[in-house]
Structure 1
């Protein structure tokens, strides 16, 4: 009887939530779980350095009508992120690189090619050019 209840609990999953799409200018450092629609403006391959696995990396400038951000594409993602392509980035996260934001999609996220965007990319507002500084906050005893 107990194993039957366990099987029912394992097979019933909570209903999936509808994704909430955000805009590039709403992205903050250290945040995760972003879903956004963006157009690839440019893609530049990063030369492979070091030893170990043979990982392909490309830095892609992606954006929407509110701004642009650098997206780090890895391996198979490099083939998808071609200039002019409009993509849905699901469960994207922010990685900090040299105190600036980079958007990335890891194994828990997904990149989907979608129909061409109806917006023009605002290349004037590149949120990856904003440099952030880590501030340590310490509490003083009263």
Structure 2
């Protein structure tokens, strides 16, 4: 059998294995400890961030009523369309950034709340950074944080420009 190099994950049989363990038992990899980052370390196009933030403001930018589920496009289309979007100014002791809250997230991101954002990503909107949590991430409202938010360092006010770099030969 040819070697494929170092393996990080192995597949194990499900069901019908007969017993607990044995020679073919494979230990599942443990969950990684989250590495909390600060707002001022966020960069365009990055993802997988875990951070604790305070919600300073929340402004609803879209509030549509849900469509009739019997519409011709079907329920799967309805689930993909956000009916509520709010832009929330969130931050920590290093700076602030705009967070785009969608649907159920709007209720969690109320001014005064402290939230842990898990698997957050940076989206670009009109050349500026927006923090977001998609279906692969999670928002947890937690105990009020002890830090004072540094409001004079808003990363969403920094304008970025996409530049094509030509290769010189």
Equivalent residue, structure 1, for 2:74: none
1:6 to 10, 13, 17: 13
Equivalent residue, structure 1, for 2:57: 42
Q: 2:49 matched to 1:21?
A: no
Q: 2:163 matched to 1:135?
A: yes
1:12 Cα deviation after fit: 4.8
2:87 to 43, 59, 63: 59
Equivalent residue, structure 2, for 1:79: 107
1:122 to 140, 150, 153: 150
The TM-score normalised by the length of structure 1 is 0.89
1:114 Cα deviation after fit: 0.7
Instruction: List runs of 5+ in structure 2 lacking aligned partners.
Output: 1-11, 18-23, 68-77
* RMSD value, Cα: 2.2
1:46-100 deviations in Å (ceiling 9; x for gaps): 1347x97452000000000000000000000000000000000000000000000
More helix by share: 1
Equivalent residue, structure 2, for 1:97: 125
1:14 Cα deviation after fit: 1.3
Instruction: List runs of 5+ in structure 1 lacking aligned partners.
Output: none
Task: Note closer, same or farther for the CA distance 1:90–1:138 as it changes in structure 2 (3 Å cut).
Answer: same
After TM superposition, which residue ranges in structure 1, 4 or more long, deviate above 3 angstroms? 51-54
Equivalences, count? 137
Task: Note closer, same or farther for the CA distance 1:22–1:54 as it changes in structure 2 (3 Å cut).
Answer: closer
Secondary structure at 2:111's aligned position in 1? Answer: coil
1:109 to 134, 137, 142: 137
